[in-house]
Structure 1
Amino acid sequence: MRIAPLLAFIGAATVSLSAFADSSIPPAVAAGSLASVQVRAAHTYLSKDDAEHMRGTFALTDGRTITVTNKQNRLFVDLDGKREELVPVGVTQFVTRDTGARIAFDQVPYAAEVVVNQAAR
């Protein structure tokens, strides 16, 4: 009879898969409410062409200026006398690698406006 080996295989597979189950997920979430979870994908890649078209000097509303430069597909900003790499965290949103300042451009590439929000670290 072939049903007995098939049932044994299904049982073993179920036990094996349950070993990989994450017990830290609350039962309500594990029961199927994952459809309500929103995931926002980060824009983590900037082409060399886009990076080249982001270069420039931008005037901030507080009177300061920032200068954006690039090296290949990486962007750098000169902000308050310090040069830092910009890490993309969204389509038009970046964070400085060292100080955590958030920099938002109105568009990528060919940005005309920029907003800087410096986080206190």
Structure 2
Amino acid sequence: MQIQAVGDRVRVPYQVAEEFFRNRVTVIGEQRRAYREVLNAAQSAKETIEKAISKHDRKNGLLNADHLRARLAVSFQPFIDEVAELQKTHPDLLANEDFRVGRVGATARRKNSAFPV
């Protein structure tokens, strides 16, 4: 059964909702950070290999340095481009912060509650 079919009749326990909202922004930030970390690691690895090829090409005339650079670009660039595209198309889960309007009823308010109602 899909949640949309019963969505207007579903009730979420207060504690569940409170924990969800308390952790929500942290989890979304971790998702965004993951893309940046993977992109940075791939770009850094590519640059490290390029520097090694250049260093040895200058020192001892590494054979086929241009070929190695071309192969490196063919190997790394599609991966980097794909991660960048995934990052761009990842949904912005913080864009619609008013999704509770008209859907959240009165709460059993507790003192010092972190639940943002």
Give the alignment's TM-score, normalised by structure 2: 0.21
Looking at secondary structure, tell me which structure has more strand per residue: 1
Looking at secondary structure, tell me which structure has more helix per residue: 2
Q: Which has the higher contact order (CA 8 A, sep 6+)?
A: 2
